[in-house]
Structure 1
Amino acid sequence: MKTKYGHLTYCSNIHPGETWSDHFLQLKENLPMIRANVSPNAPMGIGLRLSNEASLELIKPDIISEFQAWLTKEGFYVFLINGFPYGGFHNTAVKENVYHPDWATTDRLNYTLRLFSILSQLLPEGLEGGVSTPPISYQFFDKTDAERKQRVKSATQNITELLHHLIQIQMDTGKVLHLDIEPEPDGILGNVELWIRWYLDVFLPKSIPGIQSQWGFTKKIAESKVRDHIRICLDVCHSAVSFEENNTVVRLLRENSIKVGRIQISSALKVKFPENPKPTLDLLKHFEEPTYLHQVVIKSKDGQLESFPDLPNALQRDVKPFEEWRIHFHVPVFLDSYDLLSSTQSELVSLLNLQKELTFTNALEVETYTWEVLPKELQTPITTSIIRELFWVKSILDREINL
């Protein structure tokens, strides 16, 4: 739905279905009821998740025409695509496989090019559209610095090739499409600071000369093209897990003229251990599950940070009183506590208030997919849960800012 501070939607990765036909059935079953509740009098945007398999189906002219007709009939429009998970995302052990294939491969490049081809056909006139994507790769895939440097070099070349396609799409259609690279703990671009360092020191110097050569642009115009088409995806769960401070993040992005392709509106688990940590620790053990990576960053009493690649790794160490843990769980945003545990909802509200003050993006996408962690008495059908999430975000956006 359109709000004063951007187009608000949710990511359809909550719905199962790796084939397009299965996923489309889920959309038809859930989306009309959601729109009827949150945007009954106006069209509603969709944050569309497409696996590689689904994209191979949807790119076919007859299939995409059928989808376009349904969007028009039901009052929807697509302006975002989630291109992070290439393969299965439900009912399988995703873990670090979510990074395969990474940006050092042509498979990732071809998949993302296909997503942009789809988006260019679905995107309404007058709107910008983005595809989210991993932060190059997973840092633990490489055993040596030399391997890491080669992976980053290959990935940078592939993203540069994609950039040329996005410039061509803009020249042919007038539509501005952007790749939204998403920092995530333990990604090669694991936080906003690392993302900015790669963008300024590696990507801009690599991409600008090629754009000047191919298109005849001045250096200034070439750089503006890079900044238009390659943006950051600001996932609030991820930045909270890394203990990144929102004011600092937004200041760094603005100081370096980096555009935000979208805010992914999400909350992480926050755990503050009391003097007797055992009851809290016992409760936290129930959150161990085999599907997704749940990176953990621990802040000690003296402010030192310690990272673990997954929750079971963190649970193997001795817990110390007064530590604060941040855990990569995309928990529902409307809740701030789960019994003895809490969420990073306050950090999310802080970023949304900065968006209200500065409006640094036009795309707001709720990305909650761990509904099973809800207390039993709060569990509701998925459609009701999504409606509740969107209403909560809208209530924050509608709230007056106290400066």
Structure 2
Amino acid sequence: MEIKGFHLSYCSNIHPGESWEATFKNLKIYIPEVKKRLNADKPFGIGLRLSHDASLVLEKPDQLAQFKSWLDSENAYVFTMNCFPYGDFHRTVVKDQVHFPDWTTTERRDYTIRSFRLLAHLLPEGMGGGISTSPISYRPWFKSESELNAGMEIATKHLLEVVAELAEIKKQTGKSLHLDIEPEPDGILENSDEMIWLFSDWLLPKGKPWLAEKLNVSEELAEEYLKEHIQVCYDVCHFAIVYEKPEDTFLKFDEAGLKIGKIQISAALKMMIPQQLEARNLLKVNLLPFEESTYLHQVVAKKKDGSLQSYPDLPDALKILDTTDEEEWRIHFHVPVFLENYGTLASTQDQISIVLNEVLKNPSLTNHLEVETYTWEVLPENTRLSLGESISRELAWVIGKMN
């Protein structure tokens, strides 16, 4: 839905099911319910999660026509898509496989281009659209600097091929589409400095001459294409986990000439580490319900001197909780944005408020906002609501903050 000039929705990766049949079925169930709960009578924006398998079905003309007809009947529109998870994302062990296939593969490139072609068909006239994607790959898969550099060479080539495709789509349709790369803990890109590094060390030096020749344009125009068609997906949870201050990060991106294509509104778990062993034992008990087997829940700890220590998953951090001298933990667990506390645990909800304030002060940052809490099925039972109520309550909380 549009609020104060921003397109706001929730990401449909909250719904289990990888096929287009399951995806469409969930949309037909929950979009009308959420609209009703929110009393939404204006066009309702959808953040569409589309798996590889679902994209292969939706690209069939009859399926695409059927979906567009349904969007019209529901007074709904798609303005952003989530193509980070390529395949299974619910009710299976996902962990680091959420990154597979990564940007070193043609599978990731082809899936993304296919999804952009679909978005170009679905996007209303006069509106820009974006697709969020992975932070290139999962860093622990690369065992040496030479392996990482070799992977970046291939990934950069694939990203440039997407830019060339998006430039062609704009030429044909007038629609400006952008690939929104999403830094996350243990990705090759996990913070603002690494996102800027992607441009300064890879996309710009390699992409400007390649695109200039490919598209028969100047290198100056090639750089404009790069910064128009590759942008940042700012996931509030992810940047909070690495202790970045939103206002500082937005300024860094602006100074580097990078655009934010989408802000994903999400919250992480956080807690201060108590000194007493008894209190630490109680903290461990309270964290155990969040130790689940579907997703990676990376932990980033802050020490007294301000330095950071990362753990690949919550169980790895819990092993050292008794003896650590760390002061604070932030955990990659997308918890409901409308809750500030979970008993003795807290969330990074305050970071969402800061981000929304920054966006309202400076609307040019981005106009795509997407609530992304996808962990409802693996949350401790005492924090779960019905899915329709959960989605509606999150959107209502964001709307209240924006008003």
Shorter chain as denominator, the TM-score bin is over 0.9
SS in 2 for 1:90: coil
Match of 1:75 in 2: 75
Cα distance in 1 for partners of 2:383, 2:188 equals 36
Match of 1:355 in 2: 359
Match of 1:340 in 2: 344
Alpha-carbon contact 1:17-1:23 (below 8 Å) kept: yes
Work out whether 1:294 is the aligned partner of 2:294: no
Q: Unaligned stretches of 5+ in structure 2?
A: none
Alpha-carbon contact 2:299-2:330 (below 8 Å) kept: yes
SS in 2 for 1:239: helix
Mean alpha-carbon deviation: is it higher for 293-302 or for 311-320? 311-320
Cα distance in 1 for partners of 2:306, 2:371 equals 30
**Letter of the structure 2 residue corresponding to residue 84 of structure 1:** F
**Letter of the structure 1 residue corresponding to residue 221 of structure 2:** I
The 5 A counterparts of 1:239-250 are: 239-250=239-250
**Letter of the structure 1 residue corresponding to residue 294 of structure 2:** T
1:255-274 CA distances to partner (integer Å, 9 max, x unpaired)?
11111010000000001122
1:387 to 382, 388, 392: 392
Cα distance in 2 for partners of 1:374, 1:12 equals 17
Mean alpha-carbon deviation: is it higher for 151-160 or for 281-290? 281-290
SS in 1 for 2:88: coil
Q: Is the alpha carbon distance of 1:333 and 1:193 closer, same or farther for their aligned partners in structure 2, counting shifts above 3 Å? A: same
Match of 1:42 in 2: 42
Match of 2:163 in 1: 163
The Cα of 1:376 is off from its aligned counterpart by 4.8
**Letter of the structure 2 residue corresponding to residue 55 of structure 1:** S
**Letter of the structure 1 residue corresponding to residue 117 of structure 2:** S
Work out whether 1:280 is the aligned partner of 2:283: yes
The 5 A counterparts of 1:29-178 are: 29-38=29-38, 40-178=40-178
SS in 2 for 1:294: coil
SS in 1 for 2:329: strand
The Cα of 1:378 is off from its aligned counterpart by 4.9
SS in 1 for 2:189: coil
Cα distance in 2 for partners of 1:96, 1:255 equals 32
Alpha-carbon contact 1:139-1:187 (below 8 Å) kept: yes
Alpha-carbon contact 1:18-1:51 (below 8 Å) kept: yes
Alpha-carbon contact 1:352-1:397 (below 8 Å) kept: yes
Cα distance in 1 for partners of 2:141, 2:385 equals 38
The Cα of 1:220 is off from its aligned counterpart by 2.4
Cα distance in 2 for partners of 1:331, 1:379 equals 10
Alpha-carbon contact 1:5-1:356 (below 8 Å) kept: no
Cα distance in 1 for partners of 2:214, 2:143 equals 36
The 5 A counterparts of 1:10-29 are: 10-29=10-29
Work out whether 1:370 is the aligned partner of 2:386: no
Cα distance in 1 for partners of 2:234, 2:5 equals 15
Mean alpha-carbon deviation: is it higher for 217-226 or for 20-29? 217-226
Cα distance in 1 for partners of 2:21, 2:226 equals 35
The Cα of 1:214 is off from its aligned counterpart by 2.8
Cα distance in 1 for partners of 2:274, 2:192 equals 30
The Cα of 1:50 is off from its aligned counterpart by 0.7
Cα distance in 2 for partners of 1:50, 1:233 equals 17
Match of 2:309 in 1: 306
Match of 1:401 in 2: none
Cα distance in 2 for partners of 1:345, 1:64 equals 37
Alpha-carbon contact 2:84-2:132 (below 8 Å) kept: yes
Match of 1:219 in 2: 219
Alpha-carbon contact 1:274-1:322 (below 8 Å) kept: no
**Letter of the structure 2 residue corresponding to residue 292 of structure 1:** Y
Match of 1:208 in 2: 208
Q: Is the alpha carbon distance of 1:151 and 1:282 closer, same or farther for their aligned partners in structure 2, counting shifts above 3 Å? A: same
1:137-164 CA distances to partner (integer Å, 9 max, x unpaired)?
0001111111111001100000001110
Alpha-carbon contact 2:302-2:326 (below 8 Å) kept: no
Q: Is the alpha carbon distance of 1:134 and 1:374 closer, same or farther for their aligned partners in structure 2, counting shifts above 3 Å? A: closer
Alpha-carbon contact 2:292-2:378 (below 8 Å) kept: no
The Cα of 1:377 is off from its aligned counterpart by 5.3
Cα distance in 2 for partners of 1:299, 1:340 equals 19
Cα distance in 2 for partners of 1:49, 1:378 equals 24
Cα distance in 2 for partners of 1:380, 1:189 equals 33
Cα distance in 2 for partners of 1:89, 1:151 equals 24
Mean alpha-carbon deviation: is it higher for 197-206 or for 25-34? 197-206
**Letter of the structure 2 residue corresponding to residue 344 of structure 1:** T
SS in 2 for 1:8: strand
Cα distance in 1 for partners of 2:96, 2:219 equals 38
Work out whether 1:329 is the aligned partner of 2:333: yes
**Letter of the structure 2 residue corresponding to residue 139 of structure 1:** R
* Identity fraction in percent: 48
Cα distance in 2 for partners of 1:35, 1:286 equals 32
Q: Is the alpha carbon distance of 1:328 and 1:155 closer, same or farther for their aligned partners in structure 2, counting shifts above 3 Å? A: same
**Letter of the structure 2 residue corresponding to residue 349 of structure 1:** S
The Cα of 1:192 is off from its aligned counterpart by 1.4
Aligned residues: 398
SS in 2 for 1:91: coil
Cα distance in 2 for partners of 1:321, 1:40 equals 49
Cα distance in 1 for partners of 2:331, 2:385 equals 24
SS in 1 for 2:132: strand
Q: Unaligned stretches of 5+ in structure 1?
A: 399-403
